Structure 1
Amino acid sequence: MARSALTGTRIRERRLALKLRQTDLARSVGISAAYLNLIEHNRRRVSDPLLETFAKALGVAPVALSEGAESALFEALREAAAGVETAGAEATGGGALIDPSELDRIEEFVGRFPGWAKVLAARQARAAALERVVETYSERMGQDPYLLDELHEVLSAVTSLRSSAAILVETPDIEPEWQARFLSSIASESLRLSAAAEGLVAYLDGIEAADSGLAAPLDQLESWLSARGWHLAEFERPDPPAPADLIAQAPELAASAARDLALGYLTRALADSRILPLKPFLAALAETGLDPGRLAARFGAPMAAVFRRLATLPEGAANLPPLGLVVCDASGTLTLRRPLPGFALPRSAAGCPLWPLYEALARPMQPLRLTLDMAGRLPQRFQSWAFAAPRPPEGPAAAFDAPVLMEAMMLVTPATTRTEAARPVGTSCRVCPRRDCTGRREPSLIAPR
């Protein structure tokens, strides 16, 4: 369990709030009053077993003593220091602006100057938010296929208008029949240009919207699922509604393409809930732990169904840690993204080529389990599971000689230990801060040069 240098201070504050004497608390936890005095003045570290004993004696959770309310503030200051370290390395050619020994004194700084610490943390949060906005705009403007298609539509309509107008201007004796055809073409292309321009403006307005920033069909679907906590409680009932009925009650799915995507997603989710019923699945999960392979074998279910089911369980079910899910097809295009704090997922660009998600495509039907270090100001470690398998074609395409469509998916969750070797990864090349990477396919906008 993580402990800060202020654990002793919190123990003392809690003891005084309960009006306990040092001797009484020391006796209840089995140590001497002199040793407790050293602990309360932060001159002795508290072991995990002793911290548990203190928490029980003081009637609080151990985390309240080990981290306290300042934990988020500490992390914000460490993130700010990490950003300064990067700036210092760029400005001085490798030198640091902050002495590494000073990083261990963040808690002392918070204790002595709490107001300034909060101001610095707030500025860091603001800077990080602005950086995310820049990254999002850069990614969209450079690689968003929807935006590129809309721009192509506008240019195509303009070219057609110019061509028709030039013919009319340069050919004064054009026959009435052909003149009518060109005028009709100009009218239809004008309508096309107007519709394309309106769509483009609406899309750009959607990017700027502070509430969601979503406009593409997949974004609409994921936003709707996120608002529901990614769990479809209606499908757990004995008489679940039809997917189409659920979609009809979702005004957030405004585009017809978004409703089509939702229909496919909900159809699979309903099938998953039938082959992996919630109560038996949660019971098996409590017994086996977070092991997709064992769960698939236990229920005789496809691995893909287990992955989807795990990522869409009710919040807090079976004491599961937060889970993220990303799915792609054989082209590498991301077809579903359930993000996880600290593990960002690109909206339009391809993901990091070092993700196990893509490695699974080259090793179909072979489960992969890897520990990942996600790049960032404060690198975070995650546990991942990946699997790829052919996805059966649906509808009229489900013929015997239909093409094989591969699908890969990856589950991620925060790692609980740091003992295993980890693979360094990022979000996508354009916004990855790692300078030396074997998988880099294009220059980064934020990596030091």
Structure 2
Amino acid sequence: MPLNALTGTRIRERRAQAGLRQTDLARAAGVSASYLNLIEHNRRKVAGEVLVRIAAALGVSVQALSGDGEADVVAALREAAAAAALPVEADRAEEFAGRFPGWAALVAAQHRRLVQLETTVEALSDRMTQDPHLSASLHELLSAAASVRSTAAILADTPDIEPEWRQRFQRNLAEDSARLARGAEALVGYLDGVAAPETGIAAPQEEFEAWASAQGWHLPALEAGADPETLLLGAAELASHAARELARNWLEIYARDAQALPLEAMQAAVAELGPHPWRLAQRFGVDPAAVLRRLAVLPGIVAGLVVCDGSGTLIFRKPVVAFPLPRFGAACPLWPLYDALQRPGQPLRVSVTMAGRQVAGFDTWAWCAAHYPAGFEAPAVLRAQMLILPSPADQAGARAVGTSCRICPRAGCPARREPPIMAEGA
């Protein structure tokens, strides 16, 4: 049932909440009681001046009665219903939102909060198990704490220390305590950064990715032929030298891709051929890797991109909704990327379904290229890239994947390395 078909239901609920009789509201709105009865039972449409008068008599906005503000709530209710393990009347989401707008908004808000918390758990799990920066920070804290403890023990157990040595121990205690406080503050800030996507960044790669995300990944200035260095001049968010170097490399690659695949020509080709990397690469006579990168930043296309080197380490991440990309460790959503790494020069297309509160489908397009910057004398440098495009979740033959094993809800996975932390009895 469309939202505007429930306007009468909303009027009836609002009238009941206000303690008004049907005749009282009809009189205040300047309509007959019989006509209002038909409206309240959704047998007559209401709009225009009549709806304005009814809203004024009830003391609410027209939007509250027409349901114009309910689309997002209903969408969230449908998502919550799809993710629920229990049978839910998903086809009555509009009716629920119309009759009980407060409860519907609460359920929708709790669903959004639950999704946000699950995303936070995914990021924290990845950091806790794989992040080398976290490991180094914890080692620094333990080292400082051990130093404080040993110095304090010496001062407490040796009452007759010479003044000169006592001052030295006290100075060491003060310095180690300050080091411990700084380390703890930095660690808390690093972990708290998970609450807001891509903030509280410590690594240069994440600093660069946060800056690129803030730009929207698409850079009109480079499309128009601007010098990449001009974009770095005002990039105050790139605080570290390493992050600026990463940004410079990406901007130079972006500029070359934009020159080889001009925006208007690329958009026209996508409109004709669809976002099919292999066909587009043949159309323009370019390396498929350039097409993958270009599609990932093309306006109007929802796409993610991930790049790894020959060791499998991720060196670039442009995320897409419902397809979590690990920061450090390997995860089964990246299997197509690693498959391509083992088969340089062979195009791979794999459809996957991502486990979660609501199963999501994606098409992944992967390509690995070998480069020889030092010629015959040096080994190949491998770069594997994977484009991620949303697709229907019920595609035949799609590969079932999930997040990292610690938080993946998919049961019976033959490749699972460890039980999920949220499993029953874990």
TM-score (norm 1): 0.67
Matched, 1:113 2:109: no
Could you tell me which residue of structure 1 aligns to residue 320 of structure 2? Answer: 340
Could you tell me which residue of structure 1 aligns to residue 220 of structure 2? Answer: 233
Summarize deviations over 1:84-132 as a string: whole Å, max 9, x none: 52xxxxxxxxxxxx446x4444444334323212211112222332333
Whole-angstrom distance in 1 between the partners of 2:177 and 2:313: 29
Could you tell me which residue of structure 2 aligns to residue 300 of structure 1? Answer: 285
Query: In the TM superposition, what is the alpha-carbon distance from 1:351 to its structure 2 partner?
Result: 2.5
Matched, 1:438 2:422: no
Summarize deviations over 1:180-216 as a string: whole Å, max 9, x none: xxx9xx99xx989977974663353143245553312
Question: AA paired with 1:109?
Answer: F
Q: Give SS of 1:431's match.
A: coil
Query: In the TM superposition, what is the alpha-carbon distance from 1:364 to its structure 2 partner?
Result: 2.1
Q: Give SS of 1:325's match.
A: strand
Summarize deviations over 1:28-62 as a string: whole Å, max 9, x none: xxxxxxxxxxxx97xxxxxxxxxxxxxxxxxxxxx
Could you tell me which residue of structure 2 aligns to residue 214 of structure 1? Answer: 200
Q: Is the 8 A contact 1:354 1:425 kept in 2?
A: no
Q: Give SS of 2:308's match.
A: strand
Whole-angstrom distance in 2 between the partners of 1:195 and 1:217: 23
Q: Is the 8 A contact 1:352 1:428 kept in 2?
A: yes
Matched, 1:268 2:253: yes
Q: Is the 8 A contact 1:154 1:196 kept in 2?
A: yes
Matched, 1:410 2:397: no
Q: Is the 8 A contact 2:350 2:365 kept in 1?
A: yes
Check 1:218–1:418 CA distance in 2 against 1; reply closer, same or farther (3 A cut).
same
Q: Which residue of 148, 152, 155 corresponds with 2:139?
A: 152
Could you tell me which residue of structure 2 aligns to residue 6 of structure 1? Answer: 2
Could you tell me which residue of structure 1 aligns to residue 344 of structure 2? Answer: 364
Query: In the TM superposition, what is the alpha-carbon distance from 1:391 to its structure 2 partner?
Result: 4.0
Q: Is the 8 A contact 1:390 1:404 kept in 2?
A: yes
Query: In the TM superposition, what is the alpha-carbon distance from 1:9 to its structure 2 partner?
Result: 2.7
Whole-angstrom distance in 1 between the partners of 2:104 and 2:207: 39
Q: Give SS of 1:231's match.
A: coil
Q: Give SS of 2:376's match.
A: coil
Q: Give SS of 2:129's match.
A: helix
Could you tell me which residue of structure 2 aligns to residue 379 of structure 1? Answer: 359
Could you tell me which residue of structure 2 aligns to residue 205 of structure 1? Answer: 189
Q: Is the 8 A contact 2:308 2:316 kept in 1?
A: yes
Check 1:429–1:75 CA distance in 2 against 1; reply closer, same or farther (3 A cut).
farther
Question: AA paired with 1:325?
Answer: L
Whole-angstrom distance in 2 between the partners of 1:163 and 1:110: 63
Whole-angstrom distance in 2 between the partners of 1:386 and 1:280: 23
Question: AA paired with 1:364?
Answer: P
Which range moves more in the overlay, 304-313 or 409-418? Answer: 409-418
Whole-angstrom distance in 2 between the partners of 1:115 and 1:405: 58
Check 1:194–1:259 CA distance in 2 against 1; reply closer, same or farther (3 A cut).
farther
Q: Which residue of 118, 130, 134 corresponds with 2:121?
A: 134
Q: Which residue of 323, 331, 334 corresponds with 1:351?
A: 331
Check 1:158–1:126 CA distance in 2 against 1; reply closer, same or farther (3 A cut).
closer
Query: In the TM superposition, what is the alpha-carbon distance from 1:354 to its structure 2 partner?
Result: 6.1
Q: Give SS of 2:349's match.
A: strand
Q: Is the 8 A contact 2:407 2:420 kept in 1?
A: yes
Could you tell me which residue of structure 1 aligns to residue 25 of structure 2? Answer: none
Summarize deviations over 1:365-412 as a string: whole Å, max 9, x none: 11111221111111111122111222444xxxx343222222221111
Q: Is the 8 A contact 1:434 1:447 kept in 2?
A: no
Q: Which residue of 258, 267, 285 corresponds with 2:243?
A: 258
Q: Give SS of 1:400's match.
A: helix
Question: AA paired with 1:362?
Answer: Q
Whole-angstrom distance in 1 between the partners of 2:317 and 2:338: 14
Query: In the TM superposition, what is the alpha-carbon distance from 1:75 to its structure 2 partner?
Result: 4.0
Could you tell me which residue of structure 1 aligns to residue 73 of structure 2? Answer: 73
Q: Give SS of 2:238's match.
A: coil
Q: Which residue of 309, 319, 329 corresponds with 2:294?
A: 309
Could you tell me which residue of structure 2 aligns to residue 282 of structure 1? Answer: 267
Q: Is the 8 A contact 1:364 1:388 kept in 2?
A: yes
Check 1:413–1:84 CA distance in 2 against 1; reply closer, same or farther (3 A cut).
closer
Query: In the TM superposition, what is the alpha-carbon distance from 1:442 to its structure 2 partner?
Result: 2.8
Query: In the TM superposition, what is the alpha-carbon distance from 1:274 to its structure 2 partner?
Result: 2.4
Whole-angstrom distance in 2 between the partners of 1:236 and 1:416: 32
Question: AA paired with 1:208?
Answer: D
Q: Is the 8 A contact 2:223 2:258 kept in 1?
A: yes
TM-score (norm 2): 0.71
Task: Show the 5 A alignment for 1:314-329.
Answer: 315-316=299-300, 321-329=301-309
Which range moves more in the overlay, 299-308 or 102-111? Answer: 102-111
CA RMSD of aligned residues (A): 4.0
Task: List alignment gaps of at least 5 residues for structure 1.
Answer: 14-39, 42-66, 86-97, 167-182
Query: In the TM superposition, what is the alpha-carbon distance from 1:76 to its structure 2 partner?
Result: 2.6
Check 1:373–1:366 CA distance in 2 against 1; reply closer, same or farther (3 A cut).
same
Question: AA paired with 2:241?
Answer: S
Query: In the TM superposition, what is the alpha-carbon distance from 1:139 to its structure 2 partner?
Result: 2.5
Check 1:70–1:422 CA distance in 2 against 1; reply closer, same or farther (3 A cut).
farther
Question: AA paired with 2:227?
Answer: P
How many pairs does the alignment contain? 358
Check 1:200–1:256 CA distance in 2 against 1; reply closer, same or farther (3 A cut).
farther
